[in-house]
Amino acid sequence: MDNCIFCKIINKEIPSTVVYEDDRVLAFKDIQPVAPVHVLIVPKKHIPSVKDIQPGEEGYLVDIHKAAVKIAQELGIAENGFRLINNCGKGGGQTVFHLHYHLIGGAELGAKLI
């Protein structure tokens, strides 16, 4: 989709630090990390947000969760624990309208909202 920064990252029109890629999802480091590990996991198909997922697209949520666990294991944060966050809509804190999950870890995150 034109003017979508994450589509441009997926198409390698904008550089990013990729940590995982398969035919369905891409994962790359967040440009403004809030923890030692802060990775964004996105479907390669442009879906604006989790509430826009159409019938037949739900599999992306499984793909994203599977990728998150794999990345967490590879980056050494799986055992201690991590957080997987989706912000949905402007009021939910979403600023980039291409579905994405934040994988955050490498620190004691505690019982915070974010």
Whole-number Å distance between alpha carbons of 99 and 48:
5
Task: Identify which range of 31-39, 50-58, 82-90, 98-106 contacts Zn ion by CB under 5 A.
Answer: 98-106
Reply yes or no on whether 100 is catalytic.
yes
Alpha helices by DSSP H, listed for 4-78, are: 5-10, 59-74
How many Cβ atoms sit within 10 Å of the Cβ of residue 40? 20
Contact by Cβ (8 Å): 29, 104:
no
Residues at the interface with ligand 5GP (CB under 6 A): 5, 14, 16, 28-32, 40, 87, 93-96
Q: How far is the CB of 99 from ligand 5GP (least distance, A)?
A: 10
Instruction: Between 5 and 78, name the residue whose CB sits nearer to ligand 5GP.
Output: 5
Site track 51-90 with Zn ion (rule: CB under 5 A), x = hit: ----------------------------------------
Q: Is 96 in the site for Zn ion (CB under 5 A)?
A: no
Choice among 65, 98, 100, 102 that is catalytic: 100
98 is an interface residue for Zn ion by CB under 5 A: yes
14 near Zn ion, judged by CB under 5 A? no
Rounded to whole angstroms, the Cα distance separating 52 from 60 reads 12
User: What is the 3-class SS of 81-99, one letter each residue?
Assistant: CEEEECCCCHHHCCCCCCC
Tokens 């920064």, residue located: 5
